[in-house]
Amino acid sequence: MRRWGSRRRTGARHALALAALLLAGCTVGPVFQRPRVPMPRHYRPSGTPVAGETAAPARYRQRTMPGTGPGARWWRLFHSPQLDALVQQALVDNHDVAAAEEALAEAQQGVVVAAASRYPQIGAVLGAGRQKYGAAFLGPEHFPPFTYFEAGISVSYELDYVGLTRHTIEERRALEQYQRSELAATRLVLGGEVASRAVVIASMRAEIHALDGLLSADRTNVALVREAVAAGSVPRLDVLTARTQLASDATLLPPLYQRLAVARHALAALLGRAPAGWDQPDPTLGELRLPHRVPVSVPSGLLRRRPDILAAQAQLQAATAAAGVATANLYPRIELTGTLGQEGLQPGQLFNASSTAWSLISGLTAPLFDGGRLHAERRAALDALHARADLYQQVVVNAFEQVADALDALRHDAQLRAAQARALSLSRRRLILERKSYLAGNSGLLPVLDAERERERAELGLLGAEEHQYLDTIRLLLASGGPVR
Identify the band that residue 7 occupies on the pLDDT scale cut at 50, 70 and 90.
Answer: very low
pLDDT at 24 over 50: no
CB within 8 A of 11, min separation 6: which ones? none
pLDDT, average across residues 260-266: 93
pTM assigned to the model: 0.83
Identify the band that residue 139 occupies on the pLDDT scale cut at 50, 70 and 90.
Answer: low
**Tell me, what CATH number does 145's domain have?**
1.20.1600.10
Which pLDDT value is given to residue 188? 95
Does residue 27 lie within any of the structural domains? no
**Of all helices (H) and strands (E), which one includes residue 337?**
strand 333-344
Does residue 385 lie within any of the structural domains? yes
pLDDT, average across residues 164-185: 95
Does residue 10 lie within any of the structural domains? no
CB 287 within 8 Å of CB 82: yes
pLDDT at 190 over 70: yes
pLDDT, average across residues 46-66: 68
pLDDT, average across residues 456-474: 92
pLDDT, average across residues 350-362: 81
CB within 8 A of 280, min separation 6: which ones? 86
Beta strands at 146-159 and 356-365: parallel, antiparallel or unpaired: unpaired
Instruction: From 392, 273, 297, 374, select the one nearest 329 (Cα to Cα).
Output: 374
Does residue 38 lie within any of the structural domains? no
Identify the band that residue 1 occupies on the pLDDT scale cut at 50, 70 and 90.
Answer: very low
Could you give the number of structural domains in the chain?
1
Does residue 381 lie within any of the structural domains? yes
103-107, 193-197, 210-214, 380-384: which range is least confident on average?
210-214
CB 479 within 8 Å of CB 307: no
**How far out from the chain centre does Cα 322 lie?**
23
The DSSP-derived string for 247-279 is: HHHHTTHHHHHHHHHHHHHHHHHHTTS-GGG--
Mean pLDDT of the chain: 85
Which pLDDT value is given to residue 6? 45
15-29, 53-67, 246-260, 391-405: which range is least confident on average?
15-29
Does residue 8 lie within any of the structural domains? no
Which pLDDT value is given to residue 55? 56
CB 164 within 8 Å of CB 328: yes
pLDDT, average across residues 145-174: 89
Provide the residue range defining the domain that includes 148.
58-479
Does residue 222 lie within any of the structural domains? yes
pLDDT at 351 over 90: no
pLDDT, average across residues 306-320: 95
Identify the band that residue 112 occupies on the pLDDT scale cut at 50, 70 and 90.
Answer: very high
318-354 as b/e, with b when 16 or more CB fall inside 10 Å? Answer: bbbbbbbbbbbbebebbeebbbebbebeeeeebeeee
Does residue 45 lie within any of the structural domains? no
